[in-house]
Amino acid sequence: MYQLNFDLNEFLTTYWHKQPVVIKKGFVDFEDPISPDELAGLAMEEEIDSRFVTNLDGNWKAQHGPFESFDEFPDTHSQLIVQAANHWHPGLRELAQPFRVLPNWLFDDVMICLSMPNGGVGPHIDQYDVFIIQGMGKRRWRVGEKGEYKDANHDSGLRQIEGFDPIIDDVLEPGDILYIPPGFPHEGNTIDVSMSYSIGYRSPKKQELLSTLADYVLTNELGDVHFYDPNLQTRDEHGMIPTSESEALNDMLMKLINDPKIKARWLGEQLSQSRHELDIMAAEPPWQADELFQFVEDNMVLEKVSGMKALYHENDLSVIYVNGEAIELPEGCEAAARLLCDQEAFTGEDLGEMASNPALLALLLDLCNQGYWYPQA
Ligand code: SIN
Ligand code: CO
């Protein structure tokens, strides 16, 4: 079990979205949740996003996985990166647990870097909040002040910048954590063969909200209504758009955007989508209703697919949003929203009286058969 050695609330007040910071011994007696060999194994998988970055003689190069073998790869000036490792490896799911008190809708993934001496990805800026946890080995990290920086090495496929003056320059050892808010330039350089784990958070941009709302409206054929003004009168200013009419058009748009159901569904569906592939496997053969019933009776554990987002709105627990899909809970089963969304797993006992609700059992059967929840072995 991983446990943070600092107060996350104090951290949030002082640093979150504000300042980078090194938290020495953020984890005490840190043990790597995965071995370098296992990580290399993940980077060989088709559905897992991986990269290998080299900087031999200052020549930056990035190759994308899956990789067939690592025999030819240099053992200095290189780094192997695996994205969303928490979706595929139980140890990384564990490592993300202490951060579950931060909202799941902001959480992105756990990225792992296996870095060889002098390996890194060069100076760059991310639009993520990230906790970089140092596992085995040692890396020197430099972080600069937020600001405008010149792009560099365009053709390497890396989004590098030229350089920056450090406000942090520190060597991270096992269990140390570096937090970097979006927009602060940073660069890690490796001293001893290292494993590091980036717990990433990403908040949406205004333009993404608008474009996903537009997609939602079009997909669901909403707002297919023209402006309507039965009181139109003549005017001398043929070319003018009267303020009252531009306001009326704006109101028309705002009514659509502020429709409570549209707002809730679009946002729920949008925020519950994962940005990385998930390990979802439909149940084969599908569960039968009586098997699930027995399972619940026996108080067994149903576990959520690792990294899959399940969310609900504070003011309406009757709808949950699972992996981008709105699902209405049966009447009287609002408490199930918390079990399904706030918890990684739940038991038959957790369901209480809801365990005898056939509509809820049918819903759980469907979720299990789609592979979203599965019986813990
Ligand atoms: C690295 O560990 O070098 C890459 C992680 C990052 O800078 O975001
Ligand atoms: Co970065």
**CATH number of the domain within which 178 lies:** 2.60.120.650
Return the pLDDT at 120.
96
**Average pLDDT of 186-190?**
98
- Residue bearing the bigger pLDDT, 297 or 268: 268
* CA–CA separation, 193 and 76 (whole Å): 9
Closest residue by CA, ligand 1 atom 5: 198
| Contact present, 265 and 326 (Cβ < 8 Å) | yes
pLDDT at position 72 is 84
CATH number for position 355: 3.40.366.30
Query: 95 and 147: one domain?
Result: yes
Is residue 113 in contact with ligand 1, taking CB distance under 6 Å?
A: yes
CB neighbours (10 Å) of residue 163? 14
322: its two tokens: 């699972």
219 lies in the same domain as 354 = no
Report the alpha-carbon distance of residue 93 to residue 72 in Å, rounded: 31
In the listed set 156, 174, 201, which residue is the last one of a domain according to the structure?
A: 201
Q: Please classify residue 325 by burial: count the beta carbons closer than 10 Å to its beta carbon, then call 0-12 exposed, 13-18 middle and 19+ buried.
A: middle
Asked whether 158 lines ligand 1 (CB < 6 A), one says no
Please say which residue of 174, 201, 228 terminates a domain. Answer: 201
The torsion defined by the Cα of 199, 345, 272 and 264, in degrees rounded to 10, comes to -130
List strand residue ranges (DSSP E) for 182-267, in order: 186-192, 194-201
pLDDT at 376: 82
CA dist., res. 70 & res. 76, Å (int):
13
Q: Specify if 264 maps to a domain.
A: no
In a domain, 344, yes or no: yes
Task: Decide which of 201, 219, 239 is a domain's last residue.
Answer: 201
Both 227 and 147 in one domain: the answer is: no
Q: Helix axis angle, 260-271 relative to 243-257, nearest 10°?
A: 60
Q: Is 118 in the pocket of ligand 1 (CB under 6 A)?
A: no
43/151 same-domain check: yes
* C-alpha to C-alpha distance for 83 and 81, rounded to whole angstroms: 7
Residue written as token pair 């939602």? 216
Ligand 1 near 189 CB (within 6 A)? no
Q: Which residues, other chains included, contact 288 with Cβ-Cβ below 8 Å and sequence gap of 6+? A: none
Domain assignment present for residue 273? The answer is: no
Indicate if 196 and 210 belong to the same structural domain: no
Q: Answer yes or no: is pLDDT of 154 > 80.
A: no
Instruction: For residues 228 and 211, state if they share a domain.
Output: yes
**What's the token pair of residue 172?**
């991270």
What is the pLDDT at residue 9? 97
Q: Verify that 226 and 187 share a domain, yes or no.
A: no
**Is residue 282 included in any domain, yes or no?**
no
pTM to 2 decimal places: 0.95
Q: How far apart are CA 61 and CA 55, in angstroms?
A: 6
Do 308 and 238 fall within a single domain?
no
Summarize the confidence of residues 336-342 as an average pLDDT.
98
Peptide bond into 66 cis (omega under 30): yes
Residue 54 pLDDT level (bands cut at 50, 70, 90): very high
Residue 207 has pLDDT above 90, yes or no: yes
Q: What average pLDDT is seen over the chain?
A: 96
H helix intervals, 88-197:
90-96
Each residue's pLDDT tens digit, 295-324: 888 989 999 999 999 999 999 999 999 999
Query: Domain for residue 365, yes or no?
Result: yes
Instruction: Find out whether 180 and 186 touch, Cβ atoms under 8 Å.
Output: yes
Nearest CA to ligand 1 atom 4: 121
| Amino acid at site 109 | D
Domain span holding position 225? 206-258
Given a cut of 90, whether residue 124 has pLDDT beyond it is: yes
Residue 275 lies in a domain: no
Is 111 found in the same domain as 68? Answer: yes
Residues 108 and 59 occupy one common structural domain: yes
Query: How many domains does the chain divide into?
Result: 3
The sheet with strand 325-328 has its strands ordered as: 310-313, 316-322, 325-328
Select from 113, 140, 171 the residue to mutate for testing ligand 1; criterion: most ligand atoms less than 8 Å from CB: 113
Please tell me the distance from the alpha carbon of residue 265 to that of residue 103, in angstroms, as a whole number.
18
pLDDT given at position 349: 93
Task: Say which DSSP state 98 is in.
Answer: G
**184 in the same domain as 126:** yes
Q: What percent of the chain has pLDDT over 90?
A: 93
Give the ligand whose atoms come closest to the C-alpha of residue 184. 2
Q: What is the C-alpha to C-alpha distance for residues 323 and 308, in angstroms, rounded to an integer? A: 6
| Residues β-bridged to residue 195 | 114
> Which residue is it, tokens 């559905």?
47
Q: And the tokens for 77?
A: 């000036």
Tokens of 195: 């494993």
Residues 197, 215, single domain; the answer is no
Closest-lying ligand 1 atom to the alpha carbon of residue 187: 7
Give me 245's structure tokens. Answer: 């009419």
Whole-number Å distance, alpha carbon 131 to ligand 1 midpoint, is: 10
Amino acid 158: pLDDT: 87
Give the ligand 1 atom nearest the CA of 79. 3
Q: Would you say residue 64 lies in a domain?
A: yes
Q: For the purposes of burial, counting CB atoms within 10 Å of the CB of 227, is it exposed (0-12), middle (13-18) or buried (19 or more)? A: exposed
Assess if residue 268 is contained within a domain: no
Complete DSSP assignment for 255-288: HHHT-HHHHHHHHHHHHT--SS-------SSPPP
Distance 178 CA to ligand 1 centre (A): 11
User: What percentage of the chain reaches a pLDDT higher than 70?
Assistant: 100
